[in-house]
Structure 1
Amino acid sequence: MIMKVSIVALMAFLVSRAQAFLSVGGNGNTHVTITGSAVMAKIYEVCEAVAENEGREFKPTGSSAEELLHACLGTATGEVSGAKFRTALNQIYMQNSYVDRDLMGSAPHHFNNEAFGEGRNLITRGTAAIKANVHTNNLQSARETLGRVCHTLQDFYSHSNWVELGNKSPYAILIRPDLTIENIADVTMPTCSDCASGKCPNPLLPAILNGRYLTSGYMGLFSSDKPQGKCSHGGDTDLSSSQNPRGGINKDERLPYNAHLHNTAANLASEATLDLLEDIRGAIGNKDYLRLMGIARSAVLVFVIDTTGSMSQDIAEAKRVTYNIIDSKKGTQDEPSEYILVPFNDPDFGPLIRTTDPDVMKSEISKLSATGGGDIPEMCLSAIQLALTGAPSSSQIYVFTDAPAKDTFLEKTITALIRSTKSTVSFLMTSAMRKKRELPRSQFQIYYDMALASGGQAIEVSKSHLSQATDIIVDTSTSALVTILQCSRNPGRVESFPFLLDESMSNTTIYITGTDLIFTLYSPTGVSQANTVASGPLGIIQKVGNLQRIQLTGTDMGLWNIDMKSTGSYTIKVIGQSAITFIYDFVEEFKGPHPGYAVIDGRPPAGLPAKLLLMLTGEKGPEVLEVQEVALVDVSRLRESNGTIEKMGNGDFLVTVKEVPEGEFVVLLKGRDTTSSSLFQRQSTTQMSQSKVNIKVQTDSSMQPGQEFKLNFTVTTNGTGGAYTIRARNDKSIPMNYPSTLTLVSGGSAQGTVSLTPPANTVSGTDVTLTMEAEGPGGSDSNYAVLRLSVLSKVTDFTPPKCELVGVQGNCSSSSCSSSNWELSVNITDGNGTGIERITIQQGSGNLTQNEVLDDNVTVVMGLYEASCCSPSVTLSAVDKVGNVGRCTYTMETSAGSPRVSMSLPLWACLLISAMILLCDAFSLW
């Protein structure tokens, strides 16, 4: 109990400083603060539990999120990049803005208008979807749902009168679907007194307070109407707050008249978020919880392989390079965290095979064989679509093929997915079939275009030399991969390309693709090496097909140059390994009750300044890094538009570019590492462009197997009026209906509906990626929206498993804990529920043995836990088949006496102190 009080005090201290619940502006910040404090505290706790279970130390070397990541992974081998960790967390945090922008008028999402039942249903259904998504490895969908659920859960404490009723603990019923919300004020019951100034600290009527009735404020965004006598939300955007009773009861901002109420609401929201995260952690286990939070080695190996009859040599090479990567990188920081394989043929493609086990990947790729194949073109783009929707964001995808694509109608869908996921697609095209069939390059141009759009390579090589080209896979399937320079010329010209190497860089490699290439490489000290010198003072040049790969052996830091003499088309890319990098999103500002910035799902609007929300990450965190320049650079590098930089704090920057380059562009960043005074340069790989068309699709619910699911979408344009072509595709081939065209006038909008009906046998937790496209008359302009939808079976079992203590044995009073052991026996049942799925050790370093017995037609799991007295505490987590969690926590006293038993999960104050320090240093509050 003393420990629990300490935690509340710590959370109160942190969150009262945060002044939470707003998105931007005002005397407060955002839900990111509350969510971030809980997320980091829980990550710290789980990392330490995993380290204890594995018998290793967990000691972050500093307070940054990157140092927490390094310590949690438990290895000092190789570079560790925090980019994917930060990206994963941003997928959670960005959903806060989504709820405020796209769902501002939804009472349940904000617990406005006394919509308690509906709001609680959003939380419990969302939590069930998160657990099901993790079970089926759909982590991005789980993160996005978690962000929305956290927002709704936290709004309860600011928008209801829970705090005014004197409650000091979170309302556990909000995350317990097996319990009922009680004592809600009836719609006819007056709840507030009139507050003419709008600044009354507590306008609730005595009858509400004395009767402990639950109520929340009514929000009038478009009308001042509200039920008679009801409280309003309050604030300038709430029209109902001008109607008697005036004022409002929201605690979104800490103001002089409500500071205590605001602080308490923020503290309870933080505690409630911790409780929610603990429930999810218990359901999915420690390892999957860390994967959900982005704690994983950054490299993901994704192969898309043509298996038609002519591909036997290519498949053999794909097997060789895969085995080599698995065997050579096992146990190092560069070991891939996940393996994905998508085969394709004609007319078949898939299935997507995903595993975290390298031996499983070896087994699956060994099963591939070259057979069949009808027409020369094949289903390559369909396979790439599966890879892009199944792989994590920013993945490296490698495509092996010797034939053009048959499904070219997917070209714009693939481009949209590349931009949405920021993944890189490289093609290894063998030429035997092309020569035999005399296929023109134009049929393969789509591969070159996709490689360029994603920042990948399109390598054309003979089958006999393919093994030399696959070195690029070894180069790029590594952790902490960064791009220093990337550009394209068509046609080429005599030109010099400078690039900056900093002290953090290692394993720098240059790729130049094209024909008849002539170039010279210069180091910062003036040493040069021509392309005709295979092994020279600066590096080793390997030529294969249309690719020249230069692996630098020189270590000079500073400004390098590539002087190109070729006039044919070519591409240049410089990569290496470094912990210093950046992540970014194009964002738009929105107004409303809680204004802020939200990620643009699609191409940013033409005719307006482009805004980017950008975050730096480095080995010691973003605090030691400075941004000096951010620019949008067109692909030809003929135009560079610098942005104005606004520091948001803790590594976050808002960049505004007033004059955006026409056509395709990338993001270029230059900065300085203050720890070494070294200048650095980084560049994004994914090409982007602006559009006069916008398509927006809104959803915040799951589909059910066998039931029609409808989504409303809106298309707007500032360009040409006329008939706009609508396309909708999903990666699970679910039947859909939608209008093929919408008619728009310039400056106008039109609405439509797309419906999907998942088959009745769809597995609960299935992730469906829906890509919506709107194309203007003549195809001159288009835009897209990419949504991740979940299919979730209806849950009727809400009862968690029960844990009963049978006995405890052992004596831990010895002065040397390592010389004594203890054990406990438990019985775990699930009553009339769906049955026990698994029982795991959530915290503790002992061993658990289990045995099932049938007692009066009820299955009982008898568990025996044995541990050293050096590990006196244990938490067992019992999960049923739909994700309900029951926990047993036991602590063996280290002095003489009976064992102490606790039936609630302890949260260690020391963990939270460290996690709070991490949060304050590592997270921004936008």
Structure 2
Amino acid sequence: MCVLAALGFLLLQTGAAGFTILPGESHNHQEITEKAILNVTVEACHALAVAEGKTFIFPPQPFTPETVAAACEAWKSSKSFHRSIFLIKAANWKTDIQNILNPAYHFDGETFTDGRKLITEGLSVIKAAIKKHSFCSAKWNLGVILHPLQDFYSHSNWVELGNKLPNSNLIRADTSIGNIAAKTRATCRSCDGDDCRNNILEDILQENILTSGYFGFLFSKPTGKCSHGGLIDTTSLIQPKGGINKDTFTSSHGHLHGKAANLATSATSELLQDVREAAGDRLFLQMLGINKGSSRPICFVLDTTESMNDDIAAVKAITSSIINSKVGTNDEPSSYILVPFSDPDFGPLMRTTDPEVFKNYVNSLSATGGGDFPEKSLSGLQLALTGAPPDSEIFVLSDASAKDTYLKDTVMALIEQTKTVVNFLITIPEEFSHHTQANLPQGGSRMAKADMQLYKDLAWTSGGESMIDFLFDFLKEPHGPLRGFDLVDNRPIAGGNGSLMVTLTGSDTATVTEVILVESSGLGQVKGLVKGQGEGEFLVQFDRIPSSEFVVLVKGQSNNSSSSLSGIFQRQSPTSLRPSTLIVTADDSDTSFEPGTTISVPFSVITSGAGGTFSIQATNDQGFDSTSPSTLILETGVIAHSTVNLTAPSNTPSGTGVTLTIQVVAPGGTDFNYDVLRLTVFTPVTDFTKPVCQLLSLQSHCSDNCNQSMWELSVQVTDGAEGSGVDSITLREGNGTMNTSIAAGSGNINLVTYTASCCSPDVQLVVVDGVGNVMSCSFSVRTAI
């Protein structure tokens, strides 16, 4: 999975400040978000199929991750698709919890300008991140901005004003949101008892004035203004009393809940379409984890130091053999990644979807440099773990011990977070070439026994090459006025009770019957109480979490089988989990910062074990300069606070993802825990103007027999003198031939020529500029005939 940075996965109960999240009769944020993602994914896959001249079979309604992945010919992507949807929904929920009293995140209190700014700025970050393949950052930010977007339709009077379509200007920074009520203008009267259907003033509705309710705990509101309403909104007790929210069917304006939810779904789809157009269908689907063939990328972390000179040819042969064994099969990787390492350098990360390009690149490598024998293998592995998508398969090829052993805990934390399979292929002298790694004689390589054990420990953590068909996340009860569950995104706490959310993948009908935490030592196990939550999700509660390393064992029943015996399944997590007595929590309220600036990340630590002096280590995968304390003194049960400062060089490309790992180690190394944040370096956007298409000529040679006649089109595309420049021009509709060129003497004017059969009379160009502004330009020969 992507790192769920300090995730507030909350299953909201009564009193939520937006569409509810728990399953029930009312529509909720998770339903709205998932429905829109599935719809837009189907459209993207359909468009790709049409472009490739293939027949696309739409999946049956209602769509599910399994049926959509199958329709996209990406059967093995259902798990990664599930994980992507979960991350986006989780960020949406976290935004509600973390910003419950910030009105802009909910469009409360008529904060329309600030709310729209959150959406448009976040949209720019998403587009830049996708362009740099920082998919986890893109998905997290996507979930964040979807929350205020969806709340607009529940908290404002957009529905009451009679609007049937979404407010498209919420995702456009250079337009008017609407006629917003002045701060001094009254907008509501008190409800008639429990009946609030007519509490918005008639002149507000007649003049098409935009307003939204005020919300807060023990807060006041301007005279005459509407309130949000609900049990925990104390402003609704102040004249004018009542509220206007449409969060549920039982809310103040619950009679409009269905309309608000439908508009929120349409608006979510509209925003996703904008992201899709800016990224292109293939990159958009890759961001969501939809890949044909195997959904699992393959990554090689390769030692290129001089000591590998005798082995480099064998390494190239091994690499080619692994790739060739998968190409053309159902296990063909979705992408190929290479991270070279030596000493003192490692990286950069190279990525491609073409196996031949990848093999040629590997074959061009030579073994040079290195100095002393130990190399920076763990630095290379860290970059691979943060640069490759979750659930990847990584092969580390080396003949040397790790020089950067201080990164062991960081690498182990990233393996646990991403659930990636790591395989170590360590070259050995010829006399030992017939021995397996497990039976390698002591001293049989140039590594000490401790060095070999380090690699074995990391390989064991990643689970070999085992496969599973479920996702799982540990939960805890949050603090504050909202009830439900927060997600534990690092090591679970040993000894106490706990809960687990299990999501089945690969089946729409299977059920979980039993979940067991099995200690790796084989000495004990803890069975949980399973409660179905719908949509393939199961909440499992345990009276205690094991105090030693364990795995998650899931048992269930496939309801597709006529035989109950043959329908039984059992799966085990590939990643072994290590409980901790430490809780490390980093503040992720700000996840983007500009090149040349420093971001301060506050974090807190608490231990239920013995106190003392604890070691602190903060590392990042981009090698950015950072400062943090080296130790913290902890007392049992007392929270300690500190800060990590991270500086991005001024030349960092916009959209670059940075993974920050903060780990805390108990005295003597007896215990450790961590938190991981996905940050994005982003240059603020000043260009909000869409590219422009100007028709130069349209010539028709069409006859009654369209198969024997052609038509031609010439278009000039520009992005304005102050624009960021045209980045891409693609065909969305049309089966003809398109060519593009730069006009002589100008780097900002693009010429497009298009030729097609008269049987294909329409064409649509999608033009994207350097910061993701999208313009769709449609032309037709029908108008010229």
Question: Which residue number in structure 2 is paired with residue 687 of structure 1?
Answer: 576
Question: Which residue number in structure 1 is paired with residue 475 of structure 2?
Answer: 587
Q: Per-residue displacement from partner, 1:416-473 (whole Å, max 9, x unpaired)?
A: 11111111212122344984887531232221211112213xxxxxxxxxxxxxxxxx
Alignment of 1:509-528 (within 5 A): none
- Indicate yes or no: 2:39 matched with 1:41: yes
- Indicate yes or no: 2:467 matched with 1:482: yes
- Indicate yes or no: 2:49 matched with 1:91: no
Helix, strand or coil for the counterpart of 1:354? strand
Question: Which residue number in structure 2 is paired with residue 609 of structure 1?
Answer: 497
Equivalent of 1:791 in 658, 678, 681: 681
Q: CA deviation at 1:593?
A: 7.4
Q: CA deviation at 1:97?
A: 1.9
Mapped partners of 2:252, 2:228: distance in 1? 15
Alignment of 1:445-456 (within 5 A): 445-456=453-464
Question: Which residue number in structure 2 is paired with residue 846 of structure 1?
Answer: 736
* CA shift in 2, pair 1:861/1:305, >3 Å: closer
Question: Which residue number in structure 2 is paired with residue 737 of structure 1?
Answer: 627
Mapped partners of 1:749, 1:226: distance in 2? 35
Q: CA deviation at 1:298?
A: 1.2
* CA shift in 2, pair 1:180/1:780, >3 Å: farther
Alignment of 1:788-867 (within 5 A): 788-810=678-700, 821-832=710-721, 833-853=723-743, 859-867=748-756
Question: Which residue number in structure 2 is paired with residue 356 of structure 1?
Answer: 353
- Indicate yes or no: 2:383 matched with 1:386: yes
- Indicate yes or no: 2:508 matched with 1:622: yes
Q: Per-residue displacement from partner, 1:687-723 (whole Å, max 9, x unpaired)?
A: 1133332222222441100122222323333333444
Mapped partners of 2:321, 2:427: distance in 1? 21
Alignment of 1:337-736 (within 5 A): 337-432=334-429, 435=443, 439-456=447-464, 482=467, 581-590=469-478, 596-618=484-506, 621-623=507-509, 625-676=510-561, 677=563, 678=566, 679-697=568-586, 698-736=588-626
Q: CA deviation at 1:54?
A: 0.6
TM-score after normalising by structure 2: 0.89
Equivalent of 2:126 in 130, 139, 143: 130
Question: Which residue number in structure 2 is paired with residue 227 of structure 1?
Answer: 222
* CA shift in 2, pair 1:593/1:164, >3 Å: farther
Contact 2:88 2:139 in 1 (8 A): yes
Question: Which residue number in structure 1 is paired with residue 142 of structure 2?
Answer: 146
Helix, strand or coil for the counterpart of 1:80? helix
Q: CA deviation at 1:798?
A: 0.7
Question: Which residue number in structure 1 is paired with residue 22 of structure 2?
Answer: 24
Q: How many residues align?
A: 748
Q: CA deviation at 1:176?
A: 0.6
Q: Per-residue displacement from partner, 1:79-116 (whole Å, max 9, x unpaired)?
A: 73521222222222221221123232332222223322
Corresponding letter in the other structure for 1:59: I
Question: Which residue number in structure 1 is paired with residue 433 of structure 2?
Answer: none
Contact 2:38 2:68 in 1 (8 A): no
Q: Per-residue displacement from partner, 1:843-875 (whole Å, max 9, x unpaired)?
A: 3333212233369x7944332333345545433
* CA shift in 2, pair 1:720/1:30, >3 Å: farther
Q: CA deviation at 1:357?
A: 2.2
* CA shift in 2, pair 1:35/1:868, >3 Å: farther
Contact 1:766 1:791 in 2 (8 A): yes
Greater RCO (CA < 8 Å, at least 6 residues apart): 1
Helix, strand or coil for the counterpart of 1:622? coil
Helix, strand or coil for the counterpart of 1:118? helix
Q: Per-residue displacement from partner, 1:653-678 (whole Å, max 9, x unpaired)?
A: 12222232221111112223333442
Alignment of 1:62-211 (within 5 A): 64-73=64-73, 80-181=76-177, 183-195=179-191, 197=193, 199-211=195-207
Helix, strand or coil for the counterpart of 1:449? helix
Q: CA deviation at 1:886?
A: 0.6
Per residue, is there more strand in 1 or in 2?
A: 1
Indicate the percent of aligned positions where both proteins have the same amino acid. 46
Equivalent of 1:261 in 235, 256, 262: 256
Question: Which residue number in structure 2 is paired with residue 753 of structure 1?
Answer: 643
Q: Per-residue displacement from partner, 1:717-747 (whole Å, max 9, x unpaired)?
A: 3333444433211111212233334444433
Contact 1:346 1:378 in 2 (8 A): yes
Q: Per-residue displacement from partner, 1:627-657 (whole Å, max 9, x unpaired)?
A: 2222111112332222221112232212222
Contact 2:38 2:64 in 1 (8 A): no
Mapped partners of 1:593, 1:169: distance in 2? 34
Mapped partners of 2:771, 2:345: distance in 1? 34
Corresponding letter in the other structure for 2:93: S
Mapped partners of 2:694, 2:603: distance in 1? 51
Contact 1:820 1:868 in 2 (8 A): yes
Mapped partners of 2:238, 2:251: distance in 1? 23
Equivalent of 2:265 in 263, 267, 270: 270
Q: CA deviation at 1:23?
A: 1.5
Mapped partners of 1:764, 1:867: distance in 2? 38
Mapped partners of 2:251, 2:99: distance in 1? 29
Equivalent of 2:317 in 320, 339, 344: 320
Contact 1:694 1:783 in 2 (8 A): yes
* CA shift in 2, pair 1:249/1:635, >3 Å: same
Helix, strand or coil for the counterpart of 1:482? coil
Mapped partners of 2:227, 2:658: distance in 1? 39
Contact 2:23 2:533 in 1 (8 A): no
Contact 1:728 1:773 in 2 (8 A): yes
Contact 1:60 1:67 in 2 (8 A): no
Corresponding letter in the other structure for 2:29: H
* CA shift in 2, pair 1:302/1:742, >3 Å: same
Mapped partners of 2:196, 2:495: distance in 1? 45
Mapped partners of 1:243, 1:823: distance in 2? 67
Question: Which residue number in structure 2 is paired with residue 539 of structure 1?
Answer: none
Question: Which residue number in structure 2 is paired with residue 246 of structure 1?
Answer: 241
- Indicate yes or no: 2:657 matched with 1:771: no
Helix, strand or coil for the counterpart of 1:56? coil
Q: CA deviation at 1:51?
A: 0.8
Moved more, 290-299 or 56-65: 56-65
Q: CA deviation at 1:766?
A: 0.4
Q: CA deviation at 1:50?
A: 0.8
Question: Which residue number in structure 2 is paired with residue 552 of structure 1?
Answer: none
**Cα RMSD between the aligned structures?**
2.8
TM-score after normalising by structure 1: 0.76
Contact 1:217 1:231 in 2 (8 A): yes
Corresponding letter in the other structure for 1:482: M
Question: Which residue number in structure 2 is paired with residue 281 of structure 1?
Answer: 276
Q: Per-residue displacement from partner, 1:264-307 (whole Å, max 9, x unpaired)?
A: 22122112112111111111111111112211131311111222
Mapped partners of 2:209, 2:529: distance in 1? 51
Question: Which residue number in structure 1 is paired with residue 6 of structure 2?
Answer: none
Contact 2:428 2:445 in 1 (8 A): no
* CA shift in 2, pair 1:874/1:766, >3 Å: same
Q: CA deviation at 1:763?
A: 0.4
Mapped partners of 1:239, 1:732: distance in 2? 47
Question: Which residue number in structure 2 is paired with residue 528 of structure 1?
Answer: none
Corresponding letter in the other structure for 1:49: A
